[in-house]
């Protein structure tokens, strides 16, 4: 059986059957601050891996995120469907499962819990109106989002450094968001019109992709992929990026001397180049690893 709250293993069987109950896109991260994780947090502190239990929680969350991202990439590679309608979280163990899917049909009304007729809502009164899926619960856990600057870049399908999606940068963005002044606005183009939006500034601490370690690249790819999905990127682009990271992570050069440095440099150059090709309306397949290009990068290190 799968340990409670853990993502499915992806290498036990080369081609296990796809079971929706094991869909990694519906898994929710465990609460590593809960009492059942006391021993593991204590072990990390006692071994000197981390300085305190808060750092232990951060480390455990990052490890889970990396594992679940591997499972997501494997799910996509084997033809699994990426859920778009979020029909409710599925988790192993004692996690909550949605037991009333039939009550969650989208409807422009909200029904009373006492069985009264639903109250109609006029969607024209508010342009932000979104139909409520009755009975659909909120998330179990929350992941710190990247900065508004990084989100703005992704909304426009622009290139953004992976460092914005590391734990440190996301925590920094959270602190900045709490202290920021939302009254500072900038003008952004929305379709054929201009609109006011909260000003988003680049982080002074953001690093170029080529300056990251391979571990940081792997740490950042999970939140990066998650935000591609959240911001409505085309499914073809999402699958392409998932395959891109998966092929780099499983490339034979990774176990060779200097291999991870070459992979870091490759993903930095080719991901940026892909965005440029997208702007020029001549996009190439990022997931198709250019072995000659990788060899050239390695020779230059």
Q: Retrieve residue 218's tokens.
A: 């792997």
Alpha-carbon distance of 92 to 115, in angstroms, equals 32
Looking at per-residue pLDDT, the higher value among 232 and 263 belongs to 263
Task: Quickly state the pLDDT bin for 39 (edges 50, 70, 90).
Answer: confident
Average pLDDT, the chain: 75
Q: Which of 3, 9, 28, 5 is nearest to 71 (CA)?
A: 9
Residues in CB range of 243: below 8 A, 6 or more apart: 73, 76, 77, 287
The reported pLDDT for the residue numbered 200 is: 56
pTM above 0.75, yes or no: no
196: enclosing H helix or E strand: strand 193-198
Distance of CA 257 to the CA centre of its chain: 30
In angstroms, rounded to a whole number, what is the distance separating the alpha carbons of residues 204 and 163?
A: 11
User: Quick one: pLDDT at residue 284?
Assistant: 93
Contact 94, 4 (CB under 8 A): yes
pLDDT (tens digit, 9 = 90+) per residue, 153-177? 888 999 999 988 888 788 787 776 5
The pair phi, psi for residue 226, each rounded to 5°, is -60, -40
3-class SS of residue 76? helix
Tokens of 61: 């969350």
Confidence band (pLDDT; 50, 70, 90) for 68? confident
Taking each helix axis as running N to C, give the angle between helix 53-77 and helix 235-249, from 0 to 180 degrees, rounded to the nearest 10.
110
User: Tokens 């409670």 sit at which residue?
Assistant: 4
pLDDT digits (tens, 9 = 90+) for 174-222: 776 554 544 444 555 544 555 555 555 666 667 888 899 998 998 888 8
Q: Which one is predicted more confidently, 111 or 176?
A: 176
Cα–Cα distance, 63 to 5 (Å, whole number) = 13
Which residues are registered as beta bridge partners of 193?
Answer: 190
């Amino acid at each position: 059986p799968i340990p409670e709250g853990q993502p499915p293993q992806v290498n036990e069987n080369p081609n296990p059957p796809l079971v929706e109950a094991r869909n990694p896109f519906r898994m929710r991260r465990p609460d590593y601050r809960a009492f059942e994780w006391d021993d593991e947090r204590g072990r990390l502190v006692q071994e000197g891996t981390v300085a305190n239990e808060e750092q232990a929680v951060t480390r455990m969350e990052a490890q889970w995120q990396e594992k679940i991202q591997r499972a997501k990439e494997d799910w996509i590679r084997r033809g699994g469907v990426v859920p778009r309608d979020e029909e409710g979280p599925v988790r192993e163990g004692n996690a909550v499962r949605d037991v009333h899917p039939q009550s969650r049909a989208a409807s422009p009304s909200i029904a009373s819990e006492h069985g009264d007729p639903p109250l109609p809502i006029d969607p024209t009164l508010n342009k932000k109106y979104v139909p409520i899926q009755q009975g659909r619960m909120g998330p179990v856990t929350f992941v710190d989002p990247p900065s508004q600057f990084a989100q703005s870049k992704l909304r426009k399908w622009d290139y953004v450094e992976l460092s914005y999606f590391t734990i440190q940068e996301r925590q920094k963005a959270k602190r900045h968001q709490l202290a920021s002044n939302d009254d500072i606005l900038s003008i952004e183009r929305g379709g054929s019109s201009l609109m006011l939006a909260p000003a988003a500034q680049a982080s002074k601490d953001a690093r170029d992709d080529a300056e990251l370690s391979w571990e940081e690249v792997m740490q950042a790819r999970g939140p990066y992929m998650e935000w591609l999905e959240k911001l409505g990127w085309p499914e073809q682009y999402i699958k392409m990026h998932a395959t891109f990271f998966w092929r780099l992570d499983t490339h034979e050069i990774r176990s060779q001397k200097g291999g991870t440095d070459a992979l870091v440099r490759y993903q930095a150059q080719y991901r940026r180049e892909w965005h440029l090709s997208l702007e020029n309306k001549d996009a190439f397949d990022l997931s198709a690893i250019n072995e000659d290009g990788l060899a050239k990068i390695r020779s230059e290190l």
